[in-house]
């Protein structure tokens, strides 16, 4: 995902001289092509993510579209006050890019786990919160947020994720829209997933040949209400899947929107929804991303309706 991001950003910067990239003393072997091609539009701010967000806001006021790139929790949890007051309050054209979302930096333990930021960021007014599901969605989302005027956040996994969407063109994105990734004729159950868990869901269901659809939600905030209502009317059973704390995350966003649709008369009934997310607890173990997912039961084995 990170390689797709920088490749797409480099191509966009060739066409748009307003694009400026900041990083927090990382990205070696990834960001060099951008730094070498556009030395006057790249700056390594150092291990100072709060300052990086403030600097990005200032650059945006001068007309730049500013991308801030750092490891998962550092440009988000560490800089939440700056994101709220500097970026969002001023509706600044700043894009926070977090590489290594969830447990991607698993061996480095809790200090490098990013498991609360979706919930925190989606509550801030004006913030578009995204978590693409594969490199193709990263390509599309990078192009989308570069053109979207205002604060945006994009969560990336790390590297080596398989492409889920057919080549060569990335999928078309509209603000808040979801994308069908796996469809089975006559399916009455579906997984709604975000981020790298989309690929996991596809692999799990295909290995077991279960008649369950998968929809990727690259937008956590906002979520397209009309499209969600159509999906909710189609399925009897839904599982939401995310590498994030259960409190306040993607599954919470889906439930909130579904109940708003029901109470607003835009939905006749609710499907049975089960959230699969990280229990609201820290993990004391260190290990690979797959190991930590297993430890925290981020698995569709928990979803009994998927077996019917």
Mind listing the pLDDT tens digit for each residue in 231-280? 999 999 999 999 999 999 999 999 999 999 999 999 999 999 999 999 99
8 in Cβ contact with 146 (< 8 Å): no
Determine the pLDDT at residue 285. 84
Q: Write down the pLDDT at residue 167.
A: 75
Answer yes or no: is pLDDT of 28 > 80: no
- Contact (Cβ atoms closer than 8 angstroms) between residue 97 and residue 5: yes
Q: What is the pLDDT of residue 16?
A: 97
Architecture in CATH of 2-155: 3-Layer(aba) Sandwich (3.40)
- pLDDT for the residue numbered 183: 96
pLDDT at 304 over 90: no
| CATH class of residue range 179-307 | alpha beta
Q: In this predicted model, what pLDDT tens digit does every residue of 139-162 receive, in sequence order?
A: 999 999 999 999 999 999 987 888
Of 107-121, 253-267, 293-307, which range is least confident? 293-307
Percent of the chain residues past pLDDT 90, beyond the cut: 85
- State the chain's mean pLDDT as an integer: 94
> Residues 159-186: pLDDT tens digits?
788 889 887 777 889 999 999 999 999 9
Domain ranges (residues) in the chain: 2-155, 179-307
Topology agreement, domain 2-155 and domain 179-307: yes
Query: Tell me, what's the pLDDT at 116?
Result: 96
Specify whether the CB–CB gap between 238 and 200 falls below 8 A: no
Asked whether residue 306 carries a pLDDT value surpassing 60, the answer given is no
Among 15-19, 92-96, 300-304, where is mean pLDDT lowest? Answer: 300-304
pLDDT score at 138: 96
For residue 308, what pLDDT band results from cuts at 50, 70 and 90? very low
Read off the tokens for 115.
């498991």
Residue 305 clears pLDDT 80, i.e. is over it: no
pLDDT at 268: 95
pLDDT in tens, 187-240: 999 999 999 999 999 999 999 999 999 999 999 999 999 999 999 999 999 999
């Amino acid at each position: 995902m990170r390689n797709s991001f920088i490749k797409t950003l480099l191509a966009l910067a060739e066409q748009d001289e307003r694009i400026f990239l900041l990083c927090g003393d990382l990205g070696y072997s990834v960001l060099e092509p951008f730094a070498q091609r556009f030395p006057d539009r790249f700056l390594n701010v150092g291990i100072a993510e709060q300052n990086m967000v403030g600097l990005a806001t200032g650059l945006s006021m001068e007309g730049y579209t500013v991308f801030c790139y750092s490891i998962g929790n550092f440009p988000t949890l560490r800089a939440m006050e700056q994101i709220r007051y500097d970026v969002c309050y001023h509706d600044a054209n700043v894009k926070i890019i977090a590489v290594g979302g969830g447990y991607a930096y698993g061996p480095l333990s809790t200090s490098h786990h990013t498991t609360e930021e979706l919930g925190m960021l989606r509550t801030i007014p004006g913030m578009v919160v995204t978590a693409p599901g594969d490199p193709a969605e990263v390509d599309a989302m990078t192009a989308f947020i570069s053109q979207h005027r205002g604060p945006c956040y994009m969560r990336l996994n790390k590297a080596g994720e398989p492409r889920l969407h057919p080549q060569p063109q990335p999928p078309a994105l509209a603000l808040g829209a979801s994308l069908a990734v796996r469809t089975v004729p006559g399916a009455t159950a579906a997984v709604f997933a975000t981020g790298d868990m989309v690929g996991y869901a596809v692999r799990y269901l295909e290995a077991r040949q279960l008649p369950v659809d998968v929809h990727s939600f690259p937008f956590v905030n906002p979520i397209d209400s009309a499209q969600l209502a159509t999906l909710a009317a189609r399925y009897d059973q839904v599982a939401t899947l995310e590498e994030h704390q259960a409190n306040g995350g993607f599954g919470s966003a889906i439930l909130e929107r579904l109940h708003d649709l029901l109470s607003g008369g835009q939905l006749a009934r609710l499907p049975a929804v089960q959230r699969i997310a990280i229990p609201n607890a820290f993990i004391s173990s260190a290990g690979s991303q797959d190991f930590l997912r297993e430890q925290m039961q981020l698995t569709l084995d928990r979803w009994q309706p998927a077996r019917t």
